[in-house]
């Protein structure tokens, strides 16, 4: 594969993970196969023993998957990456590879809802304890650290409150305690945020979102910093089995070619929409890291290369008014997920974060009236017209 280390990220999006292929193909072929034929019994034995490079079985390695993994590892500035069957498969891989019974995790109070549920139920059942805190307050992280803390897990910006965690500060606290910092970088992608530059030890993404960008893939990825970590994660990954398939890897790799362009458009349009909503008479409040009213605006400018494509807001009149507004959208799609080319709108309290329970949601700042908007790459005037028209239903 090409060495793209000297390229800027816009070029890396296009060329990382791409090599020379049969017949001069300029994109990695789809190796849609479960297994690979050996030249001889000895060849097979050498592959299993690690004495030769090659492919054995797609759950273990596959050229199409490997090309996509290489691309994302290079974009994040990591060593290698492990493609997963979903974003939650990536989250589970991180916990399975890094935690043992008796370990303690400090986790952002507000993260993707199923991540909270996984820690509080499945991981708890296996003896892993979790303390959920507002990681945008570094003192809260410090106070939550215990002698058996092995991981500080943050999602920044948080889903869906858009609270920002100081990655450099969180890394120092984690490392001083002998723990690792894990960062869910889904909301920004490596185009807008590089957690390794601030001390993170492991990065993960739901590739379903901005990395793929076209709402036609469910996938996740974990990026690690060195070969020792990769070998450990790879062994666990093969045993747990939540791997990505070749075709979805191909789609993600194709989507990444336009990642830089898409993120630029998401950011530009989201800023315009956020400013418009902040002035709208029917909007109670707006949260977007690019607004000076955001409590971590300065921190976002420091550790991010852009403010992202996600906005949270509340319609005056609370849940019922928000429900009426969401039922009236036309261009915007009323659907969960985010990061696609189309604008998506949803209600976290009844949808993505319903499993957390009302008390936990409210403690983390997810009100019943909070609406999450993933701004797509349509003409921003059309997005605003759709929102204004839907909001106007509350005056009828």
Cross-strand bridge partners of residue 148 = none
Catalytic residue among 12, 80, 194, 209: 209
Q: Let me know if 112 is a catalytic residue.
A: yes
Q: How far apart are CA 326 and CA 293, in angstroms?
A: 25
What does the angle CA 61 – CA 64 – CA 66 come to, to the nearest 5 degrees? Answer: 50
Distance CA 222, CA 202 (A): 7
Q: Write out the E strands in 97-189.
A: 104-108, 129-133, 149-155, 180-184
CA distance 332 to 342: 7
User: CA 40 to CA 46: how far, in whole Å?
Assistant: 10
Q: How many other CB atoms are found less than 10 A from the CB of residue 20?
A: 9
Q: Is 176 a catalytic residue?
A: no
Output phi, psi for 348, to 5 deg. -55, -40
| 305 catalytically annotated | no
Q: Which one from 184, 201, 245, 372 is the annotated catalytic residue?
A: 184
Backbone angle region of 241, left / alpha / beta, with phi > 0 → left and psi within -120 to 50 → alpha: left
d(CA 264, CA 157) in angstroms, rounded, equals: 17
Q: Annotated catalytic, 184?
A: yes
Q: Which of 112, 153, 230, 288 is catalytic?
A: 112
Q: In this structure, what token pair is assigned to residue 241?
A: 């089995």
Catalytic residue among 2, 46, 57, 59: 59
Find where tokens 């499993």 sit.
Answer: 355
343 contact partners, CB below 8 Å, separation of at least 6: 331, 332, 333, 373, 374, 375, 376, 378, 383, 386
Catalytic residue positions, numbered? 59, 112, 184, 209
């Amino acid at each position: 594969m090409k060495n793209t280390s000297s390229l800027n990220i816009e070029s890396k999006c296009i060329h990382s993970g791409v090599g020379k292929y049969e017949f001069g193909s300029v994109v990695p072929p789809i190796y849609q196969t479960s297994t690979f034929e050996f030249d001889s019994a000895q060849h097979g034995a050498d592959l299993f023993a690690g004495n030769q490079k090659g492919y054995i079985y797609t759950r273990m390695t596959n050229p199409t998957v490997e090309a996509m993994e290489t691309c994302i590892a290079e974009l994040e500035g990591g060593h290698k990456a492990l493609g997963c069957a979903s974003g939650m498969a990536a989250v589970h891989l991180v916990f399975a590879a890094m935690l043992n019974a008796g370990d303690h995790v400090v986790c952002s109070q507000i993260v993707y809802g199923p991540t909270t549920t996984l820690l509080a139920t499945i991981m708890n059942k296996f003896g892993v304890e979790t303390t959920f805190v507002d990681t945008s307050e570094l003192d809260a992280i410090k106070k939550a650290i215990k002698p058996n803390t092995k991981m500080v897990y943050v999602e920044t910006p948080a889903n869906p409150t858009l609270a920002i965690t100081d990655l450099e500060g969180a890394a120092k606290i984690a490392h001083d305690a002998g723990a690792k910092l894990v960062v869910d970088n889904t909301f920004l992608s490596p185009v807008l945020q590089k957690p390794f530059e601030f001390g993170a030890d492991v990065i993960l993404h739901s590739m379903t979102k901005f990395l793929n960008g076209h709402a036609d893939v469910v996938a996740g990825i974990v990026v690690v910093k060195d070969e020792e970590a990769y070998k450990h994660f790879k062994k666990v990954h093969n045993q747990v089995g939540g791997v990505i398939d070749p075709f979805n890897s191909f789609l993600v790799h194709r989507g990444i070619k336009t990642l830089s362009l898409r993120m630029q458009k998401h950011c530009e349009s989201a800023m315009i929409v956020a400013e418009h909503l902040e002035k709208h008479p029917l909007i109670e409040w707006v949260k977007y890291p690019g607004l000076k009213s955001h409590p971590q605006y300065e921190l976002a400018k420091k550790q991010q290369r852009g403010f992202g494509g996600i906005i949270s807001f509340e319609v005056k009149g609370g849940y019922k008014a928000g429900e009426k507004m969401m039922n009236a959208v036309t261009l915007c799609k009323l659907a969960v997920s985010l990061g696609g080319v189309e604008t998506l709108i949803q209600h976290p309290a009844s949808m993505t974060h319903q499993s957390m329970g009302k008390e936990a949601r409210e403690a983390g700042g997810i009100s019943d009236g909070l609406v999450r908007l993933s701004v797509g790459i349509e003409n921003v005037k059309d997005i605003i017209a759709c929102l204004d028209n839907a909001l106007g239903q509350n005056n009828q």
